[in-house]
Amino acid sequence: MRALTRSCAAKCLSTPKAFSLAQPLHTIAQEFITPTVEKKGFAAMRNNKRQTSLTKAAWMLATALAVALPQVARAETVLRIGMTAADIPRTLGQPDQGFEGNRFTGLTMYDGLTMWDLSSADKPSVMIPGLATEWKVNDDDKKKWIFKLRPGVTFHDGSPFNADAVVWNVEKVLKQDAPHFDASQVGVTASRMPTLASARKIDDLTVELTTKEPDSFLPINLTNLFMASPAKWQKAFDAAEGADAKAKSQAAWAAFARDASGTGPWKMSKFTPRERLELVKNDGYWDKTRVPKVDRMVLLPMPEANARTAALLSGQVDWVEAPAPDAVKEIKARGFQLQSNESPHVWPWQFSRVEGSPWNDIRVRKAANLCIDREGMRDGLLAGLMVPASGTFEPGHPWRGSPTFQIKYDLKAAQKLMQEAGYGPSKKLTVKTQTSASGSGQMQPLPMNEYMQQALAECYFDVQLDVIEWNTLFTNWRRGAKDPTANGANATNVTYAAMDPFFALVRFLQSSMAPPVSNNWGYINNPKFDELVTKARQTFDPAERDKALAELHAASVDDAAFLYVAHDVSPRAMSPKIKGFVQPKSWFVDFSPITMTQ
């Protein structure tokens, strides 16, 4: 509460006090009898008599409140989270801010036709049914899929979820002449499911989805398409003002974002852009096992690691993403929990392969990969909070394959390759990397990139860093190395998820995934990669598809397609009051099982 100014103190102190319905009744009574102004002598004696009368009156009031308001006996449980994002991720159904957006404003308020099983800390997260209960590709035409929908599901506004809603949500990002088409949602959605072409209602609980080519990855890609309420949007559209239908549509989406409606386990309660988002549990959620146990969740943007950590240690928040590594010992010593787990994630430099890029020389790409002491980064800089990367997948993974180029720290081999490429102590190779100061999955991007800068200097690289805001970096990632927003950079440092074939490999390695289609930022154009992507995508037998993906991954490592540095362990620090949390092997988490002790 802000301090009272002198000019209003008397007036303010005489104003009747309002009490929260969640406030314990004994404290209400106590506040009634506590004097607000110190008095001495006769005034104090008179005040004591008055207090005796107030005491009786206060306890009578508390008793009356206890009878009249029995529902306030249990205080509301609130979970406060400090995110790495600099702003609240978009709330209209398709979040921005990378997968941190999906974590906090996607999977909380919305569901997809398919979703991730986040219930285990020991097993990799796998895809499971969501708003669709089953699906099957057409045996005669593998560009067509039938999805059966879950009956009895309603949106937060009470309208029904059905096949019409699925078609509407597909068209919001794919059908440009649809009244509700929203170009602002296309980039973060269509790029994650680039083969989806259309949706058609068969009956209320059945839809047909059509792809541009046979694509066995489609069900996985659909975990990124969140279902927003058509009825809620239409109501906003009918009330919107605008010069034309397009302007009204944009106004309707803006209104929808302020009062969103999905089918997820959490509902929007309060939203202050750039400051906080408050969600409350959805008691009517269709999966009764996942109705949240906490009443309210408050999401706060805190992009600076030290500020997040200080907020946790001072009790301003209960949970922070990516705490400052140098505070890990203090966090543990003061009784806070530190949760981490291996996750399908890569912290890389993604190379430009456009004409004139210094990374077009494979000797240079391999030298950079051999020049980084990843174990030193892990044990020193990051206090153990990373796994060294030798590719997108490590040995033991079904998609690892058998690469012949072994990524490890070998300074002499790296220097030799650079000398063969024409560089040395007196002739450095200047490279420029675009990165961010924070962001979803970015771990500790500034210290990590400064470590890289110093390490690569030993291999005759002169590294320049272009540090920009996270959401800008993420947007530039979809625009590519040829776009002016690259600002002359010939590498970009955007972390990526690796839980499915498309996200881990295809969107970077297939030549047709170059901007604006998807995330082949560097314009890789390798016919072998294209051939293996097509083989994997059009193979519907899981075992055979795994073989093709392993071959593709091995080929990408042998080509040193990226500078592979680290796998995140998704560290988050939290209050000891938090119970029931499961840290899955995923970028995402399920907030539903969490409880808060008093």
CATH number at 293 reads: 3.40.190.10
- Read off the CATH number of the domain in which 562 is found: 3.10.105.10
Residues 362 and 233 in one domain: no
Q: How many domains does the chain have?
A: 4
Residues 168 and 130 in one domain: yes
The reported pLDDT for the residue numbered 280 is: 98
Structure tokens at 249: 């549509």
| Residue 168 located in a structural domain | yes
Q: With a cut of 50, which residues of the chain have pLDDT below it?
A: 1-73
Is 475 a domain residue? yes
For 491-512, b/e burial (b = at least 16 CB within 10 A) is bbbbbbbbbbbbbbbbbbbbee
Does residue 144 lie in a domain region? Answer: yes
Q: Are residues 475 and 535 in the same domain?
A: yes
Residues 126 and 178 in one domain: yes
Pair 125, 212 in one domain: yes
Residue 587: which of 328, 296, 322 has the closest Cα?
Answer: 322
Amino acid 571 reads P
482 and 422 fall within a common domain: yes
Q: Which two tokens stand for residue 577?
A: 């009051």
Q: Are residues 118 and 241 in the same domain?
A: yes
Q: Are residues 540 and 556 in the same domain?
A: yes
Within a domain: 252: no
- The answer to the question of residue 3 being in a domain is no
Q: Are residues 176 and 317 in the same domain?
A: no
412 and 477 inside one domain: yes
CA dist 214 to 138, 407, 536, Å? Answer: 10, 34, 10
Tens-digit pLDDT profile for residues 427-441 = 999 999 999 998 878
Q: Which residues constitute the domain of residue 152?
A: 111-246
593 and 476 in a common domain: no
pTM: 0.81
The answer on 437 and 328 residing in a single domain is no
Q: Which DSSP string corresponds to 286-313?
A: S-GGGS-SSSEEEEEE---HHHHHHHHH
pLDDT at res. 74: 65
Mean pLDDT of the chain: 88
Domain for residue 329, yes or no?
A: yes
Amino acid in the structure at residue 191: S
Q: In angstroms, rounded to a whole number, what is the distance separating the alpha carbons of residues 131 and 403?
A: 39
Q: Is residue 96 part of a domain?
A: no
Residue pair 448/381 in contact (Cβ under 8 Å)? The answer is yes
Domain annotation covers residue 418: yes
Rounded CA separation 48/389 (Å): 72
Question: 123: domain CATH number?
Answer: 3.90.76.10
Q: Note the pLDDT of residue 529.
A: 98
